[in-house]
Amino acid sequence: ELKVEQNPLFLSMQEGKNYTIYCNYSTTSDRLYWYRQDPGKSLESLFVLLSNGAVKQEGRLMASLDTKARLSTLHITAAVHDLSATYFCAVDIAQGAQKLVFGQGTRLTINP
Amino acid sequence: DAGITQSPRHKVTETGTPVTLRCHQTENHRYMYWYRQDPGHGLRLIHYSYGVKDTDKGEVSDGYSVSRSKTEDFLLTLESATSSQTSVYFCAISERLGEKLFFGSGTQLSVL
Nearest-CA residue of chain A relative to B99?
A: A48
Tell me the shortest Cα–Cα distance from B26 to chain A, in angstroms. 18
Give the CA distances from residue A56 to residues A2, A46, A66, A81, B69, in Å, rounded to whole numbers and listed in that order. Answer: 25, 9, 13, 22, 38
Confidence of residue B1 (pLDDT cuts 50, 70, 90): low
User: In the prediction, which pLDDT does A51 show?
Assistant: 85
- Chain A residue numbers with beta carbons less than 8 Å from the beta carbon of B50 are 97
Taking phi over 0 as left and psi of -120 to 50 as alpha, with beta for the rest, A14 belongs to beta
- Measured at the CA of B94, the angle between CA B5 and CA B27, to 5 degrees, comes to 50
The residues of B whose Cβ lies within 8 A of any Cβ of A are 1, 31, 33, 40-45, 48, 50, 56, 58-59, 90, 92, 94, 97-106
CB B69 within 8 A of CB B60: no
Dist CA B64 CA B86 (whole Å): 13
User: In the prediction, which pLDDT does B42 show?
Assistant: 86
Residue B83: partners with Cβ closer than 8 Å, 6 or more residues away? B15, B111, B112
Of B42, B90, B102, the CB nearest to A105: B42
Range list of β-strands (E), chain B: 4-7, 10-13, 19-25, 31-38, 42-51, 54-57, 64-70, 73-78, 87-94, 102-103, 107-111
pLDDT at B70 over 80: yes
User: In the prediction, which pLDDT does B2 show?
Assistant: 66
Return the number of other C-beta atoms located less than 10 Å from residue B92's C-beta: 28
Of A96, A100, A103, the CB nearest to B45: A100
Report strand pairing: A10-14 vs B31-38: unpaired
Nearest-CA residue of chain A relative to B106?
A: A42
Name the CATH superfamily housing domain B4-103. Answer: Immunoglobulins (2.60.40.10)
Read off the pLDDT of residues A24-73 as tens digits, 9 standing for 90 and up: 999 888 789 999 999 999 999 999 998 888 999 999 999 999 999 999 99
Confidence of residue B91 (pLDDT cuts 50, 70, 90): very high
Nearest-CA residue of chain A relative to B104?
A: A42
User: In the prediction, which pLDDT does A28 show?
Assistant: 83
Domain boundaries, chain B: 4-103
User: In the prediction, which pLDDT does B22 show?
Assistant: 98
Residue A61: partners with Cβ closer than 8 Å, 6 or more residues away? A46, A47, A74, A75, A76, A77, A83
Tell me the shortest Cα–Cα distance from A109 to chain B, in angstroms. 17
Domain A4-111 has CATH 3.40.50.300: no
